[in-house]
Structure 1
């Protein structure tokens, strides 16, 4: 259940359909018009993503807007971004937040997820600023006044944390940069980002890749805000600066700096020997004046306390709790302090090896790594889904499933609201397989773009489409290869389970594994609401 530091990790979405409804308002001067166009995006059978685009076709700048529409029976808006909304029965009213200004010829938009039963039906009776949403409608002379926009979008209810990992090495071979979070539509759906990874050396937090972190110069075309980096003395560059720009554009997103991971967990044992000194080093690094405004907290990815990962740790049952307490003491209540933890739910397994129950009082939440249970690290198989939600007959090892891990953590006193379910945006696969169903033998790891046995969802969805499901996740047999991975449909099911368990939300590893239009994060976010 590990996240490797080197580049390796990465549903089926129904075809998106553009569905344009009537739209627009003509200003009193009659020159041009202001329109609001509805577009239907991804649909996963029990919900879909919608968007209204407000376009100013008049010669006069707009300073605010209000869009109203009616949802059909059995349909409800479950979440909305880039706008502030209220509902009265099936009637939905959306007002601008930070995006009220629309220059002549420009457009702004807001997106939303809809949960529905039965057949899809588009919203109806659209109004823009009280007038018709078609370009021939006549609005009031001036748009109605709106409340001052809040600094951030209104926070959603508990239980819908949506956290994605951004890997610092993704800027190399994967060519995935912070701007891709925006262009994929993921930025509006994320609540938190974990920047992975910082290293732990000599008992201290240290940077892992200075060039990627804060030195790489981004051109205007590569940059989130279209402004190129400079080489002026003291200027911040790299992913840190891009994250700063992302947060300015999407102020609801919180960014945590994650330390450790599979490759860099070996230093935690020494760090635990002087937990206060370790915590102080982490605080000083995150609060470095050059990027102090970028990070909202720290995440510890220790694989694994008092157990074996890439190396074996013998720091003792209490070490993780002591480290967590020291971090909270140093960072205080104003910062997020979280941890990515094992999902080994077996009796006497890794969850039992450390005091996760006691440590939880000091942490905001756990990212429970409910993936990588099975894979071609066992080259001959048996084939098995790497991220099973539940157990199933023939599972290779008892306790190696999400439900077992979550129930064990609850039994140790960890509040459900402090548990986030993990989802992999990648698959694991074998080659030399003849059996379609799980449980077959293999001859080795299937080929992967960056590492054998691992492939991004965005590749697998067409290279080896899913042929079946088991234990809440999907698998695929193509030629002599066998893969398991999550699809939009299985993610939707996992999020329903997450809600039923009262969990705090979900997280995923990692952003670059998704499609260019964010199929998986759309299903994940939609399923949490």
Structure 2
């Protein structure tokens, strides 16, 4: 496997060198995609998440603000800022990079090139301690300190709104309590009032599962105050299940049992509608990353193969995570001998090599998701996160996943494939 990783690194740097010698050819390709799209497609949000840590990765994985394809996104969320304990004000999570080096202003400066683009600040994220959110939202005084700080940041950094990313209010293993559910509504109500008075947006990340929705999200009430929900339609399966699986199945499958029978994108979105969320406020998340497993028996490599819980998956060569793999790592794996299969019921691909297994998204699965979204009338789509796309074109066309989403919106309604 180490030899394979070295080969991938050499291949990536060879392709990277070619793209650099070609100058700005990549950007012109993106512009051509945008120029052929009818202006009406801009009415559907395509929300891109910019992950601040991505700029610290070694090349070719390094992803700075200047790589954001502003012509393929309608909104870009900076992930993530935090909440400071005790003061309850907004706080940088990586001050040595984003705040001290002016990354926030550099981030919003991309609107100079893309005037229609909206830039938002996502607050929270999985790494953020939930207890701080619980305390901040617990009293009117604490909430007001947070709101005042938000308004200051919006003005100072020329931001267009806030995306609340609290995973998950009310859930005890995340430090939440039963009071979080009502307090979150109050926070959204008070924050929305101030933001709207200043022409600013409020969006909110929400999960799909009842396990996380029930304790902390009054969807019908929250829907009154947000512009839309960014629906966390991925990480629905994982190593905690003990078997291999794709983590963002679009539809239920015959292999699903128990709670997993409803834990898919289609049923999850319908669950949110039944809880009071208008379809016009549901923006579906699509992951640009895969989740990996180590097989217990390399000859058993299909869906629901038993994983070896004692041996973590091999880290990818660039993101260097033993669990998360960027699409540009996965597409290079496929060029080096991995086998790709497709879950035809869940509409998602997976790949394996030796005792390694990854479930992910590609252009085929994204087309299925976009057809579903357009047919069912949901609001839009967000991608998490665009630094995981093949943004350098290591395997072919740059930003191929994001372009697949963008091009899907160019379809005439009558031309949407009857594949669902």
Q: Which band: TM-score by shorter chain? A: 0.7 to 0.9
Which residue in the other structure is 2:13 paired with? none
- Structure with the larger helix share: 2
Shift in Å, 1:474: 1.1
Q: Distance in 2 between matches of 1:189 and 1:309?
A: 37
1:446 aligns with 2:313: yes
Shift in Å, 1:248: 0.5
Cα RMSD over matched residues?
Answer: 2.5
CA deviation vs aligned residue, 1:235-294 (integer Å, no higher than 9, x gap) = xxx32232232111011110111111111141111112125642543443453487342x
Which residue in the other structure is 1:425 paired with? 288
Conservation of the 8 A alpha-carbon contact between 2:31 and 2:71: no
Shift in Å, 1:296: 0.1
Counterpart selection for 2:46 from 162, 174, 179:
162
- Does the C-alpha gap of structure 1 residues 286 and 457 become closer, same or farther in structure 2, counting only changes over 3 Å? farther
Which residue in the other structure is 2:193 paired with? 329
Conservation of the 8 A alpha-carbon contact between 1:257 and 1:286: no
Which residue in the other structure is 1:408 paired with? 271
Which residue in the other structure is 1:385 paired with? 246
Query: Size of the alignment, in residue pairs?
Result: 357
Conservation of the 8 A alpha-carbon contact between 1:446 and 1:454: no
- Any gaps of 5 or more consecutive residues in structure 2? 1-24, 393-397, 411-420
Structure 1 window deviating more from structure 2 (463-472 vs 500-509): it is 463-472
Which residue in the other structure is 2:15 paired with? none
CA deviation vs aligned residue, 1:312-352 (integer Å, no higher than 9, x gap) = 443243222112111112212511101011121x4xx2222
Which residue in the other structure is 1:243 paired with? 107
Counterpart selection for 1:189 from 72, 75, 85:
72
Q: Distance in 1 between matches of 2:365 and 2:409?
A: 13
- Any gaps of 5 or more consecutive residues in structure 1? 1-38, 42-48, 53-79, 82-110, 115-153, 217-237
Structure 1 window deviating more from structure 2 (434-443 vs 204-213): it is 204-213
Q: Distance in 2 between matches of 1:338 and 1:359?
A: 10
1:481 aligns with 2:356: yes
Q: Distance in 2 between matches of 1:212 and 1:509?
A: 21
Conservation of the 8 A alpha-carbon contact between 2:92 and 2:99: no
Aligned residue for 1:430, secondary structure, equals strand
Q: Distance in 2 between matches of 1:341 and 1:304?
A: 8
Which residue in the other structure is 1:209 paired with? 94
Shift in Å, 1:51: 6.2
Q: Which entry has the higher C-alpha Rg, 1 or 2?
A: 1
Q: Distance in 2 between matches of 1:301 and 1:309?
A: 17
Shift in Å, 1:309: 5.4
Which residue in the other structure is 1:221 paired with? none
Q: Distance in 1 between matches of 2:156 and 2:185?
A: 28
1:466 aligns with 2:340: yes
User: Given the two structures, how large is their TM-score scaled by the length of structure 1?
Assistant: 0.63
- Does the C-alpha gap of structure 1 residues 264 and 467 become closer, same or farther in structure 2, counting only changes over 3 Å? same
Which residue in the other structure is 1:256 paired with? 120
Which residue in the other structure is 2:409 paired with? 528
